[in-house]
């Protein structure tokens, strides 16, 4: 499921594109924001389906061996431990995944070369060889291997990263979250499962959609007003010398502090400082910390930050 940190990242990316393009159509930008979020479901299904494709590639390998003109003993009596991996079979036979895949038009059919490369990489790993050679059997053993294979090898496969980047510009920063959802999905499979339950992208409540909508709209609507607050504490800096990303982060932080009454000031401060470490300059986190600390103090004193609930002003 989406975290608020990831929603902040999506808003940040959309605002950065909006300002970089010379402040275009705010309504169009908001549609792009939600399109980029909804697009993550497609990536989730692609990653789950890649795991399923590994079983198909293994079955093909076994059939090719049996159909050789001079098949070896190993070709005629192949090791089927991976093909019969029980959690993998649940995933491969999942009607829920099949329906979702068809509903959003996700398929690896046009990219089988990548599937073959991933499978070739898999069977050459020590993890795969150890699993296939081990005499240990059982559902937990199968699941542990499947999770390890996904975590260590598929998720970290560079060519898969390249594929996702080429497939959608919105997926550059989504892989960690989608990988986490994929792992949780496989972990949820148990011995009695005959299907897999897909995780929803949004939490059941509507709070998260309200959060991202409000944050985006207020960051835009109050941009000039919040810029004046920032200017007050950056008098030794010319605004055009401050990195655009830093300015957007601070405007978002102030908009969130003033508008989202349920989020503590300390949480907002920490979240935007953390984002600056990944998306701005090496010195940005210290700079943003100093400016927001003063800005929040002033806004609190002026009664412009109001929080609901105990301890939310901390």
Per-residue pLDDT tens for 283-309? 889 999 999 999 999 999 999 998 765
Per residue in 174-192, pLDDT (tens digit) is 999 999 999 999 999 999 9
- Residue 89 region, left (φ>0) first, then alpha (ψ -120 to 50), else beta? alpha
The predicted structure's pLDDT at residue 200 = 94
State yes or no: pLDDT of 240 exceeds 70. no
- Domain boundaries, given as residue ranges, for the chain: 24-187, 222-301
Count of CA atoms in the C-beta half-sphere (13 A) of 216: 28
The predicted structure's pLDDT at residue 71 = 83
State yes or no: pLDDT of 63 exceeds 60. yes
The predicted structure's pLDDT at residue 206 = 65
Residues 269-295 have a mean pLDDT of 93
State yes or no: pLDDT of 81 exceeds 80. yes
The predicted structure's pLDDT at residue 306 = 84
The predicted structure's pLDDT at residue 1 = 85
Radius of gyration of the chain (CA): 25
Percent of the chain scoring above 90 in pLDDT: 80
Cα torsion through 279, 281, 282, 283, rounded to 10: -120
Q: Give the C-alpha distances (Å, rounded to integers) separating 230 from 90, 225, 226.
A: 54, 9, 6
State yes or no: pLDDT of 205 exceeds 90. no
- In CATH terms, the superfamily for domain 222-301 is NusB-like (1.10.940.10)
The predicted structure's pLDDT at residue 308 = 67
């Amino acid at each position: 499921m989406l975290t608020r940190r990831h929603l902040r990242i999506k808003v940040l990316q959309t605002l950065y594109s909006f300002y970089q393009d010379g402040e275009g159509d705010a309504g169009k930008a908001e549609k792009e924001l939600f399109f980029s979020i909804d697009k993550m479901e497609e990536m989730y299904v692609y990653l789950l389906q890649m795991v399923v494709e590994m079983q198909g590639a293994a079955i093909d390998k076994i059939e090719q061996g049996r159909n050789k003109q001079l098949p070896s003993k190993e070709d005629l009596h192949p090791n089927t431990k991976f093909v019969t991996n029980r959690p993998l079979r649940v995933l491969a036979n999942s009607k829920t995944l099949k329906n979702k895949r068809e509903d959003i038009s996700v398929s690896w059919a046009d990219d089988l070369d990548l599937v073959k490369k991933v499978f070739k990489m898999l069977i050459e790993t020590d993890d795969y060889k150890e699993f296939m050679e081990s005499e240990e059997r059982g559902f937990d053993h199968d699941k542990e291997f499947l999770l390890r294979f996904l975590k260590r090898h598929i998720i970290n496969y560079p060519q898969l990263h390249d594929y996702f980047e080429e497939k959608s510009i919105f997926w550059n920063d989504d892989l960690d979250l989608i990988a986490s959802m994929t792992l949780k999905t496989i972990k949820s499979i148990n011995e009695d499962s005959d299907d897999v339950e897909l995780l929803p992208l949004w939490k059941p409540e509507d709070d998260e959609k309200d959060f991202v909508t409000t944050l985006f709209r207020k960051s835009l609507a109050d941009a000039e007003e919040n810029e004046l607050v920032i200017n007050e504490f950056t008098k030794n800096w010319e605004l055009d010398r401050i990195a655009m990303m830093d300015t957007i982060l601070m405007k978002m932080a102030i908009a969130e502090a003033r508008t989202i009454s349920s989020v503590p000031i300390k949480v907002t401060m920490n979240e935007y400082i953390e984002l600056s470490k990944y998306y701005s300059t090496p010195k940005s986190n210290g700079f943003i910390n100093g400016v927001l600390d003063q800005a929040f103090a002033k806004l609190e004193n002026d009664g412009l930050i109001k929080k609901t609930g105990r301890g939310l002003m901390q």
